[in-house]
Amino acid sequence: MHIEFTRFSPDDTEALVGFLTGEDWPFHAGVQEAPAIRKRAAEGLYDDEESRTFWIVADGERAGLVRLQDLTDGTPMFDLRVRKAWRGRGLGTAAVKWLTSYLFTEFPGIRRIEGNTRQDNHTMRAVFRKCGYVKESHYREAWPAPDGTVHDSTGYAILRRDWESGTVTVPDWNDEPVTGSLGR
């Protein structure tokens, strides 16, 4: 499979509308409406100083989308979406490896990259681990779903120094005592 990453252009707005509204995104909060997507695109929010958006093109087809956010923050985050027909083929892993290299190469001031997903998104969590990202947070009942349920959220990150050296630095999860009560 041949994979390319092509930068979003305002000329791609209708394709973006079709992409975001034409599929269910079970692990993304909320539903995106076409007028709101068009408005954000017209305002430059998919490609400006703070964000860049790229199509994941697999074998000539727009199979996914990567949105890089908070680019001036020093700790950018990203949104990754892969069309249902293309899931399970390694595009998520390829995209995270690509965006990690892209961010650390193009933005020398970035020290770390973060990403969040729902706890029950086991595929994305495996992609994070495969790409050298480390679980750094677990937020209980923090991710509301369109059906009204609330899920736990997990946060992953990679450090520039780990990416450069090919190592993984795990946080110290045992830095405070565990208590079994509310202290009442």
- Total domains in the chain come to 1
Q: What pLDDT is stored for residue 158 in this prediction? A: 98
Which neighbouring-strand residues pair with 150?
A: 144
Kindly report which listed range (76-80, 123-127, 172-176) carries the lowest average pLDDT score: 172-176
Instruction: Tell me, yes or no, whether 73 lies in a domain.
Output: yes
In the chain the first and final C-alpha atoms are separated, in Å, by 59
pLDDT of 179 strictly over 80:
no
Which residues span the domain enclosing 40? Answer: 3-165
Instruction: Tell me, yes or no, whether 82 lies in a domain.
Output: yes
Instruction: Tell me, yes or no, whether 48 lies in a domain.
Output: yes
What are 137-159's pLDDT values in tens digits? Answer: 999 999 888 788 899 999 999 99
pTM: 0.91
Q: What pLDDT is stored for residue 71 in this prediction? A: 96
pLDDT of 30 strictly over 70:
no
What CATH number is given to the structural domain containing 51?
Answer: 3.40.630.30
Instruction: Tell me, yes or no, whether 19 lies in a domain.
Output: yes
Angle at 104 between CA 111 and CA 74, to 5 degrees: 35
